[in-house]
Structure 1
Amino acid sequence: MSAPVAVPAHPPLSLLDDADLLLMLTIRHFELTLLDLFARGELNGTTHTCLGQEYIPVAMEGLLTDADHVFSNHRGHGHYLARHRDPRGLLAEIMGREGAVCSGVGGSQHILRDRYLSTGVQGQSLPVAAGVALQLKRAQPGALACAYIGDGTWGEGAVYEALNMARLWRLPLLVVVEHNGIAQTTPTAVQLSGTIAGRAAAFDVAHLRSDSADVAELRALLGPAVRRVRRDCLPLVVELATHRIGPHSKGDDTRPEPERSAAAARDWYRRYALDHEEQFTRLDAQARAEVADVANAVRRLGPSRWDS
């Protein structure tokens, strides 16, 4: 039997404005709804939820502008919702119904809308983001390309090729690493040699790390560094230690029970409910009801059609 995992005490989370908290709660209930729909047999294929990590795209979105490009990955629903506030279009895309963002051909992982692009191929987005950053440097100074990756993506050669080009060419590339400690079913400790900081340093790329789940704290920490990316056209790797409290995909959570319990104990959702009960209770009920309304509406829609 595995030994219990100690969970350190955390300071209270900062009080958020209603808009930020409602967005985080919307992402949470959207992801829970997806898992419920899969369990009911109403969705096909697969999906990768960001349960436990919702605060990251919300914190980052407060540092981005409409001119920036966002590149997401297989676990990207929160990134999309933080960018576009469009649960109905996203759910329609995943369910293949009318009103789908990409006419139902992209599904959960491959979405293109305005300056947002997601892909299910690990590391694929970074060379593309570097190319977009090069164009932004030339045509839209001050804008940047923000690419979300996981700790497991550091096993892909494309990561290093992109960092090399970004530093040599001085590109406004922001790499956000959602480090949840496990690559699908493989603990990061047994598949990643050295550190992410060390790997960024090998290319003379700046690196910042935080284990905070506090949106205000993250924005205060990262704000000056993100402004330097824009001003100086130099890449930055932001490593955010986080916790995936759900499965990798639907039901395949292979972590021992003590590890799952420890991750759940660190969950921002539980902590914020204790720290700011009145606001949380009010907005949690609102987000839950709004996502339920979206799900019921999308269920009634006809199949999407792609007119090439």
Structure 2
Amino acid sequence: MTSLATLYERMFFIRRFEETLLDLFAQGKLVGTTHTYIGQEANAVGIVDHLAPERDVVFSNHRCHGHYLAFTDDAFGLLSEVMGKATGTCGGKGGSQHLCKGNFYSNGVLGSIVPVATGIGLAEKKKGTGAVSTVFLGDGTLGEGVTYESLNMASLWRLPVLFVVENNHYAQSTPVELELAGSIAARGAAFGIEVAELDTTDVSEVHEAAGRAIGRIRETGEPYFLVLHTYRFSPHSKGDDNRDLAEIEERQQRDPLKIAGERLDQTERGRIEATCESRLAETVAAAEAAPAAAPEAA
């Protein structure tokens, strides 16, 4: 059983990594855009802890950094990639959204990764590897038809796919109640897929639910639909935020770091945070010093 201290350390590092990215953009050291995972860290950390990077496969979306760090622990490769450095995960050519390392894949085109994850589930089933294909999608992706085609095939062919819906209540700037009719959980159930639904930011609760879901997939070889009601504290990308500040502040009272951190010994918590800050500073220095990707490599 992974300790709360370990889960907290992973969440805290993801949080500080994302905040550092925004700082680097503000300093003019990064260009383009990014979609941070601030506020949703309990989901990636709680779920990915049950996956084996050498066997299982993870698929993500435009808001992929938390999933990537939880699965690969490759902060240098990710930061180098966002900086356009040759040492990046994809040689500086994929940027913030399009990452590929080992069994991790992300794509910024909304919904496009869902059928890929389903296809990999089919391939792993036919090969008999016992691997679980996990795909993270948001509430906005439930407006894409290919998502339902994928759910249909995963159910019909009994594929080992974990569909994780992170409902952060906004599709870019549109509130979920203005973009989705009906129940999110009912969408998975309509295809005969087992469903679990949580409204929590407690990493321990997410971890427990994810363990049940992934254990069920490994036992039956069949898909699972996990709905997590969450909230992002940061804008959709870098600065496009029109939400009510009072709403954000109210949700920050349920900050996953606050909830987990208050249950730790505070001396241990301080040590964890200092270790993460030191590691992050070293990562930034190394990435800044790394060579830029050559134009001819594009």
Smaller-chain TM-score bracket: over 0.9
The answer to whether the aligner puts 1:214 opposite 2:193 as a matched pair is no
SS at match of 1:296: helix
2: CA distance between counterparts of 1:264 and 1:211? 14
Residues 46 and 99 (structure 1 numbering): CA distance in 2 closer, same or farther, change over 3 Å? same
SS at match of 1:207: strand
2: CA distance between counterparts of 1:270 and 1:17? 13
**1:91 matched to which residue of 2?**
79
User: How far has the Cα of 1:307 moved from its partner?
Assistant: 4.3
2: CA distance between counterparts of 1:100 and 1:69? 20
Superposed structure 1 runs of 4+ greater than 6 Å apart: none
User: How far has the Cα of 1:17 moved from its partner?
Assistant: 4.2
2: CA distance between counterparts of 1:256 and 1:224? 36
**1:25 matched to which residue of 2?**
12
**1:64 matched to which residue of 2?**
51
User: Match of 1:24, as an amino acid?
Assistant: M
The structure 2 residue matched to 1:54, chosen from 28, 32, 41, is: 41
User: How far has the Cα of 1:218 moved from its partner?
Assistant: 2.2
For residues 111-155 of structure 1, what are the alpha-carbon distances to aligned partners after superposition, in whole Å with 9 as ceiling and x for unaligned? Answer: 111111000011111111111000100113421100000111100
Retained in 2: the 8 A contact 1:243–1:266?
A: no
2: CA distance between counterparts of 1:116 and 1:271? 29
Query: Aligned runs of 1:128-207 on 2, under 5 Å?
Result: 128-207=116-195
User: How far has the Cα of 1:285 moved from its partner?
Assistant: 1.9
The answer to whether the aligner puts 1:103 opposite 2:78 as a matched pair is no
**2:269 matched to which residue of 1?**
280
**2:251 matched to which residue of 1?**
263
Retained in 2: the 8 A contact 1:141–1:230?
A: no
The structure 1 residue matched to 2:281, chosen from 264, 267, 292, is: 292
- CA-based RMSD of the aligned residues comes to 1.6
SS at match of 2:105: strand
Identify unmatched segments of 5+ residues in structure 1. Answer: 1-14
User: How far has the Cα of 1:304 moved from its partner?
Assistant: 2.0
Retained in 2: the 8 A contact 1:273–1:280?
A: yes
SS at match of 1:81: helix
SS at match of 2:163: strand
Identify unmatched segments of 5+ residues in structure 2. Answer: none
For residues 236-262 of structure 1, what are the alpha-carbon distances to aligned partners after superposition, in whole Å with 9 as ceiling and x for unaligned? Answer: 110111111111111112111111111
The structure 2 residue matched to 1:41, chosen from 24, 28, 47, is: 28
Percent identity, aligned pairs only, is 43
